[in-house]
Amino acid sequence: KQEVTQIPAALSVPEGENLVLNCSFTDSAIYNLQWFRQDPGKGLTSLLLIQSSQREQTSGRLNASLDKSSGRSTLYIAASQPGDSATYLCAVRPGNYGQNFVFGPGTRLSVLP
C-alpha cells in the first residue's frame, strides 16, 4: 500500500530565504506526483505536476524534483515571501491504471516579514 509522508510538518522562515519541502513515498511505481498549495479555509491549488518519466518541473520561483528510485520529491521555493504562507501537500498517483492519488499530511509554511 502506497504511503506518503512529508517533512517537516511545520516550518517558519524569515522572508527572502530559499527553502525546501520534502515528500517521501513508499512505492516507486507511480504515474505522477503533484504538489498542491492550500490557504487556510480555502481549496487546493495545483502547483506542479511531475510525470514519472520526468526529473523536475519549474514554475516561477518553484521547482519540484522527483527521484522515483529513492521514493522522494522536493519542492524548492526561492526567495520566499509572506504570500507563500500556506500548507503544501504532496500527492502521488499509483502506477495501476485509474488509481486514486495518495496524499501526504502536508507541511504548514509560515514566511515571516
Sites of contact with other proteins (CB under 8 A): 31-32, 34, 36, 42-46, 49, 89, 91, 93, 97-98, 100-101, 103, 105-106
Determine how β-strand 10-14 pairs with β-strand 107-112: parallel
Task: Write down the least CB distance from residue 14 to other proteins, Å.
Answer: 28
Cα atoms found within 13 Å of the Cα of residue 107, Cβ hemisphere only: 26
**Which is nearer to other proteins, 45 or 81 (by Cβ)?**
45
Nearer to other proteins, 80 or 86 (CB): 86
Rounded Cα distance between 29 and 42, Å, is 31
State in angstroms the smallest separation of the CB of 92 from other proteins. Answer: 11
**Least gap, CB of 42 to other proteins (angstroms):** 8
- Per-residue DSSP letter, 85: -
Amino acid identity of 82? Answer: P
